[in-house]
Amino acid sequence: MKKFLSILPRWFPALFFMTVIFIFSSQPSDDLPSFASWDRLVKKGGHAIGYGLLALSYLHFFEYKKNRYWLAWLLAVLFSATDEFHQSFVPGRNPSLTDVLIFDNLGAALALYFYRRNHEKENQSA
C-alpha cells in the first residue's frame, strides 16, 4: 500500500491530460468552435500538442528513465486509438486513423525526442 501511495502522485499529470483529451473528444461536432481557414491547422495542431504532453506525462510517471521513452510513446498512441474509438459514439464525430498514425503519433514522438535531446544537452554541459 505504501508503494502505491508513493507512485500515485506521479500518475496525476497523465490522468489530467487523459481527462482533458477525453472531454474535448466528447464534444459533438456542432459544439466545436470553428477557426475559419485555420480550423484544420488549429485542431490537428491541438492533437499533436495534446498527445505530446500526454507522452511527456507518461515519461514523468516512469521517472524519465531512458529505457522507458518507447513505453511513454506507446501508451500515448494506444490512448489515442482508444480515444478515436470513443469518438465513434459522439454525434457528428468520426474515428480517424490518420489522427492516430500521423498527428497523435508524431506529437508524442516529437515531444519525447525534443525532451531527450534537450535533456542530453543539459547533461553534457553539466
List the domain boundaries for the chain.
37-125
Coil/strand/helix, residue 90: coil
The 10s digit of each residue's pLDDT in 32-59 is 999 999 999 999 999 999 999 999 999 9
79-106 pLDDT, tens digit per residue, is 999 999 999 999 999 999 999 999 999 9
* Short-list 68, 64, 71, CA closest to 120: 64
Amino acid at 103: F
Question: pTM for the full model?
Answer: 0.91
